[in-house]
Each structure stands twice: as C-alpha cells, then as structure tokens.
Amino acid sequence: DWHTAFLPLYVKDTPCVFTIHNLAYQGIFPKEDMKKTGIPEENYSPYLVDGNINLMRTGILASTLLNTVSPTYAREITTPEFGAGLHEELKKRGKDLRGILNGIDYEVWNPEKDEHIPANYSVEKPEGKEECRKKLMEETGILHEGPLFGFISRLVEQKGLDILIPAISRLVNMGINLIVLGTGEEKYEKELKRLEQRFKGRLYVKIAFDARFSRRIYAGCDYFLMPSRFEPCGLGQLIAMRYGTIPVGRKTGGLADTITPERGFLFEEYTPEALLSCVKNAVEIYRKEKFYEMRKNCMLSDFSWKKSAEEYLKLYRDAKEVWNGG
C-alpha cells in the first residue's frame, strides 16, 4: 500500500523498487503534513496536486521500477476500471511495471502436518480430508449433505459481498452448504447473520478473525469461494488449493493467474447470476471422477515462494542496472 512510498524521496541516491499491493489505499495528505516527515520540500514539491500529496502516486512516479502482486493485476491497474484514478501514471510507467505472484509458505500451510485440523492428509493418503469435512459439519451445525463451500474474508465490498449476499438463497436452493468466516462492514455482518437464521443447518456465519478455525475451513470444505470485485493476488485460493479445496472465483487479478480449468472455476461478469452459474458448473462435478482429479491437481500445484523469490531477485538486479544507466 502507500506506507513505504516515502522511500524514494528520502533516498535520492539509491535505486528504489515500489511494490504495490492494493492501489485503492493511496495515503493522501495536505502539504503541511509533509513537514512531519523531515523530507526537504524540494524533494516532494514536484509531486503535489492541488496542495495535497498522494503518496501512492509519488511512489509510482519517483521509483526506479514498480511491481505488483500478480501479472493480471499489473495489467488491470493501467485501466480506468482498476486504476483507482492513477491509471494514467501507471500507463506512463508501463515499461517499468511488472507483476510477480505472491506465494505461501508450504511448511506453515501443510495438511500433512497441520496440528489445527482434525486429521492430516496428503495427495497419496487423502482419507483425512473426509474426516476434516465431517468434523467441520458437526462443529458448524451443517445438517444437510451436499457440496460444502467456504468463504473466509474481510467483509467488504471488494471481496464480492454485494454479489454473494443476493445469491445466498439461490445457492441454498441449489443444495449447497456454506460456511462464512470474517469481520468487516456492519451492514454485511448483519445481513449474513440474518440469513444464517433463515437457513440454519445450511449456512453458518462466524463474525470473527479466527486463524485456527480458518484452517479447519480450508481442510474441511469441498470448494472455496472468492467472488472478488478486484483481487491484487489473493492468498485464500492458494491456501485452499494446498488443502485440496477447489477454488471458485472471479476472473480478476491473481485469481485469473492461479485458478486454471484443471484446478478450479472462474466467472467474469460481476453479478450474482454469473456467480451462481459458476457455482452450478462446480457442483455438477461434485463427487465425480473429475472432482477428485481436480482436487489432486490443486494439491499438486506449487505456489510456494521459490519461483516468486527468484523473480524478485531479478527485479532488484534490474533496478540497479536501470539506475546505473543499463
């Protein structure tokens, strides 16, 4: 986000790489506030707009090279739809902008060793996943058989709540069960709890940040929902795949880069209808040969940090080269 964007103003004699996580959070302050930073006025005055400084914009314009956390998001943020008002600046820096996928730590997220799930399992010995599913249903009071979907997120518009909530009654009518975990905007929290009362035994909602419970969701669910309006990278789908839980997401940002037809389902339009159609496609393969094949493909995917780390090293070397006139 914007918090590190001061750096190229402080260190004028050193190459800087600015990694953008989420362009929506920009850090806009009046010029007077810059006195608190100790940065000389001549360093930041070229970046003032209408007497304010936008630190995200400053980092974009002042850094040697830029990157963000997925190749698709890197392309998206140069467009008006995803550029959060900075698409022109990013387009201008297009040749200096790259996308490098985030990764997850495969030792931290490991269904073979995870102490916080009811049973351990692996690609070779997948039986424990069924035990995790059974225990999760007991814990959440899910009473009906049927595909079990998980949704773990901040409860904010970016994460697709405004298309998920209107779809819930139809999802339940399709025979699916849904477990929701997260905190966020009060309007979403209240509506989800209201729907939970209406669909008891099919829908479970926990308004909390609960790291251990999240692991039980990743391990026990059949599918993992990510209907995001935009998603710079997304970690939920990577963790879900590690635990053999098939992701169902919107084709945006890092979701588009990581969810392929061999290991998940994507939809494009940001509407409840598109989400429902995608879920329907996912449910059609439930407990069939393709379902187990897809689960296996998810668990065999490699989204560890190794490849991303190599790409970051190359980015930093390239920044030095550009700085030195290469």
Q: What is the pLDDT of residues 112-139, one digit of tens each?
A: 999 999 999 999 999 999 999 999 999 9
Given its phi and psi angles, is residue 68 left (phi above 0), alpha (psi -120 to 50 degrees) or beta?
beta
Residue 11's pLDDT band (cuts 50, 70, 90): confident
**Listed range (6-15, 59-68, 121-130, 278-287) with the worst mean pLDDT:** 6-15
Q: How confident is the model over 200-233, as pLDDT tens digits?
A: 999 999 999 999 999 999 999 999 999 999 999 9
Statement: residue 318 has pLDDT above 80? yes
SS3 231: coil
pLDDT of residue 13: 87
Both 68 and 37 in a single domain?
Answer: yes
Both 170 and 266 in a single domain?
Answer: yes
Both 96 and 147 in a single domain?
Answer: no
Both 268 and 185 in a single domain?
Answer: yes
pLDDT of residue 107: 94
SS3 266: strand
Mean pLDDT over 284-300 rounds to 98
Mean pLDDT over 48-60 rounds to 93
Residue indicated by tokens 């790259």? 98
Statement: residue 30 has pLDDT above 90? yes
pLDDT of residue 1: 82
- CA 15-20-24 angle, 5° bins: 140
Mean pLDDT over 314-320 rounds to 97
Both 180 and 98 in a single domain?
Answer: no
Both 151 and 265 in a single domain?
Answer: yes
Statement: residue 322 has pLDDT above 70? yes
Alpha helices (H) along 50-185: 55-62, 71-76, 87-92, 127-140, 161-173
Range of the domain at 251: 127-302
The token pair at 180 is: 């929701």
pLDDT of residue 290: 97
Both 142 and 43 in a single domain?
Answer: no
Average pLDDT, the chain: 96
- pTM of the predicted model, to two decimals? 0.93
Both 277 and 213 in a single domain?
Answer: yes
pLDDT of residue 152: 98
Residue 42's pLDDT band (cuts 50, 70, 90): confident
Both 191 and 291 in a single domain?
Answer: yes
pLDDT of residue 170: 97
pLDDT of residue 326: 66
Which residues are within 8 A (CB) of 125 and not within 5 positions of it... i.e. 6 or more apart?
A: none
CB-CB contact of 75 with 49 (8 Å): no
CB-CB contact of 245 with 222 (8 Å): yes
Both 259 and 319 in a single domain?
Answer: no
Both 226 and 276 in a single domain?
Answer: yes
Please give the C-alpha separations between residue 44 and each of 30, 33, 65, 72, 237, in angstroms, as whole numbers: 12, 12, 18, 31, 39
- Report how many domains make up the chain: 2
CATH number, position 280: 3.40.50.2000
Residue that wins the pLDDT comparison between 49 and 261: 261
CB-CB contact of 270 with 301 (8 Å): no
Which residues are within 8 A (CB) of 186 and not within 5 positions of it... i.e. 6 or more apart?
A: none
Residue 43's pLDDT band (cuts 50, 70, 90): confident
